[in-house]
Amino acid sequence: MTTERNEPWREALRKSMKAKERTDIPRVKMPELAPDVRSRNFEEVNRGLTAEQALQEAKRCLDCPDAPCMAGCPVEIDIPTFIKNIERGNFPEAAKTLKATSALPAVCGRVCPQETQCESQCTYLKLKKEAVAIGYLERFAADRLADNDNHNNQSNHKNNSSDIKVAVVGSGPAGLSFAGDMAKLGYTVTVFEALHEIGGVLKYGIPEFRLPNTVVDVEIEHLQHLGVKFEKNCIIGKTLSQSDLDDMGFKGIFVASGAGLPNFMHIPGENLNGVLSSNEYLTRVNLMEARKTEADTPVWLGKRVAVIGGGNTAMDSVRVARRLGAEQAIIVYRRSEEEMPARVEEVKHAKEEGIIFLNLYNPIEYIGDEQGRVKAMVLQKMTLGEPDASGRRSPVPIEGATETIEVDEVIVSVGVSPNPLIPSAFKGLEVSRKGTIVVNQDTLQTDLQTVFAGGDIVRGGATVILAMGDGRRAAAAMHKKLAANQ
Ligand SMILES: Cc1cc2nc3c(=O)[nH]c(=O)nc-3n(C[C@H](O)[C@H](O)[C@H](O)COP(=O)(O)OP(=O)(O)OC[C@H]3O[C@@H](n4cnc5c(N)ncnc54)[C@H](O)[C@@H]3O)c2cc1C
């Protein structure tokens, strides 16, 4: 059988350029805004590859017959084919390959942790060289599609084989990915979103300097062209109940309501003014224009801002604080940099922007002034012990070693828990001790016959690409079930 991956043009390309010539090409560097410029504005930091850079980087791909990179991609993008299409200069075809399995390639090209996914499987690593920049190339091809009329032509893929209605709860990456696949299969898909913006964390969490809203909007428009309907400001479990959805004729429901409930540390002083969650801080800045002093609910523009945590959310918060004028924007993290869950690129960018890292410190108390506003924090010095359940070395307090530092704002970014509304509003759902919805691991079906679930509401806080992979798997399983019932 001739599959796309063993077509004759591939062989011709392989022969036209010897592996040695390919492996001698250095990995491309992503053009970036200079740190002193970008740390004062919200413009996108990574500027994207030029066509010349993309063509050059695409040449590095060795076109491995077993494509190990694909094993690292939860949505199974045909990576060698899209890269070869870039190498041939056929950018629309490269984008089409991406869109065949990913609803959000322009998003994933910007925020996926490729270093632990597709790029971690690249053959170059075995050669002790840098992996092919798959993420940069994905962004390049996806952005070409967005710029191109072809984008809307691609959208006319809707297969009108069925008019069965399915509902999606939540418009984050899991919900959008599910909606795209189901629309392509011909279902009538409605996405219900509690907020006034579509996109979940992509809009309310990740700031514009990493993921511009316009990029997310283009992907959403693509879904609208496929026929997906969006209902904003609609809280399932409040505005509409599960039985309302049944009465409206939805034959299947995919719950993708995410993990937007912030965790706190429950230490003295956490209720002081000026101590808030990163969830509140980022949502207000990203969705409510709170960085403007004339906004209805402006955020405090702290000068000495401490962000507690070491994940992507913490890095985003501290970099926002810097952009909003913090003279000292500080990360306080209880382990060392090696254990930080944030993407490597985010940590690098944060350092370049002058963020101060207090690693191996943990807050134990916040101290307020007479008006009840935070003015200082007491930090416990930590060391590293044995690995814990996460596989990372555990933080252990050094007895008697504390320090007090002045702060005028604290943003707590120590993880999130599942949004509790759906698990309590949908009677009969099995829910874990952590509040996640329990599903069949293969089909993502819940205990309720018509209800499937995926993304952070099932995994707890995870990643965009894992949420999207869940959306795809749930769509395939729900389709199989609905088709069997017909
Ligand atoms: C600040 C931040 C930065 C991040 N950075 C990265 C990164 O760089 N790379 C990465 O891979 N991952 C990152 N993540 C994690 C990633 O964004 C999440 O894992 C992913 O968005 C989960 O997708 P989801 O669709 O399950 O949920 P979400 O994106 O949380 O979307 C859930 C949606 O459901 C809606 N909803 C909830 N309840 C209801 C209801 N009852 N009715 C209707 N709608 C409802 C919510 O309003 C929300 O819009 C980051 C997370 C945060 C918070």
pLDDT reading at 176 higher than 60: yes
Q: What confidence score (pLDDT) does residue 153 get?
A: 47
pLDDT reading at 182 higher than 90: yes
238 CA closest ligand 1 atom index = 41
Structure tokens at 233: 């400001």
pLDDT in tens, 272-301: 999 999 999 999 999 888 787 788 888 889
Q: Per-residue pLDDT averaged across 242-259, rounded?
A: 97
pLDDT reading at 158 higher than 90: no
Q: Hey, which of 195, 238, 257, 439 would you mutate to test ligand 1's pocket, going by the most ligand atoms within 8 Å of its Cβ? A: 257
Q: What confidence score (pLDDT) does residue 391 get?
A: 86
pLDDT reading at 150 higher than 50: no
pLDDT reading at 402 higher than 80: yes
Q: What confidence score (pLDDT) does residue 149 get?
A: 47
Q: What confidence score (pLDDT) does residue 20 get?
A: 79
Q: Tell how far the Cα of 239 is from the centroid of ligand 1, in angstroms.
A: 20
Q: Per-residue pLDDT averaged across 197-224, rounded?
A: 96
198 CA closest ligand 1 atom index = 49
Q: Tell how far the Cα of 67 is from the centroid of ligand 1, in angstroms.
A: 30
Close Cβ partners of 449 (under 8 Å, ≥ 6 residues apart): none
Q: Per-residue pLDDT averaged across 159-165, rounded?
A: 72
Q: Tell how far the Cα of 197 is from the centroid of ligand 1, in angstroms.
A: 12
Q: To the nearest whole percent, how much of the chain has pLDDT over 70?
A: 93
Burial of 62 (0-12, 13-18, 19+ CB in 10 A): middle
Protein residues with CB under 6 Å of any ligand 1 atom: 111-113, 169-175, 192-195, 200-201, 205-206, 235-237, 256-258, 260, 282, 312-313, 316, 343, 419, 421-422, 455-457, 461-465, 467
CA atoms of 464 and 453, how far apart (whole Å): 15
Q: Per-residue pLDDT averaged across 466-471, rounded?
A: 97
CA atoms of 276 and 269, how far apart (whole Å): 11
pLDDT in tens, 36-94: 999 999 999 999 999 999 999 999 999 898 999 999 899 999 999 999 999 999 999 99
Phi, psi of 267 (to 5 degrees): -115, 160
Of 31-45, 93-107, 154-168, 172-186, minimum mean pLDDT range: 154-168
pLDDT reading at 333 higher than 90: yes
Nearest C-alpha to atom 53 of ligand 1 is from which residue?
205
Q: Tell how far the Cα of 258 is from the centroid of ligand 1, in angstroms.
A: 5
pLDDT reading at 270 higher than 50: yes
Burial of 422 (0-12, 13-18, 19+ CB in 10 A): buried
CA atoms of 27 and 300, how far apart (whole Å): 42
CA atoms of 479 and 486, how far apart (whole Å): 11
Q: Per-residue pLDDT averaged across 310-323, rounded?
A: 97
Q: What confidence score (pLDDT) does residue 2 get?
A: 45
Which of the pair, 80 or 161, is modelled with greater confidence? 80
Q: Per-residue pLDDT averaged across 95-119, rounded?
A: 94
282 CA closest ligand 1 atom index = 1
Q: Tell how far the Cα of 455 is from the centroid of ligand 1, in angstroms.
A: 8
Task: Round the average pLDDT of the chain to a whole number and report it.
Answer: 92
Q: What confidence score (pLDDT) does residue 154 get?
A: 47
Q: What confidence score (pLDDT) does residue 19 get?
A: 76
pLDDT reading at 11 higher than 80: no
H or E segment to which residue 165 belongs: strand 165-169
Q: Tell how far the Cα of 166 is from the centroid of ligand 1, in angstroms.
A: 21
210 CA closest ligand 1 atom index = 8
Of 120-124, 159-163, 284-288, minimum mean pLDDT range: 159-163
DSSP annotation of 255: E
Q: Tell how far the Cα of 279 is from the centroid of ligand 1, in angstroms.
A: 11
CA atoms of 38 and 472, how far apart (whole Å): 36
Q: Per-residue pLDDT averaged across 145-165, rounded?
A: 60
Q: What confidence score (pLDDT) does residue 175 get?
A: 98
Phi, psi of 418 (to 5 degrees): -60, 145
Angle at CA of residue 307, ends 301 and 311, nearest 5°: 130
Q: Tell how far the Cα of 330 is from the centroid of ligand 1, in angstroms.
A: 25
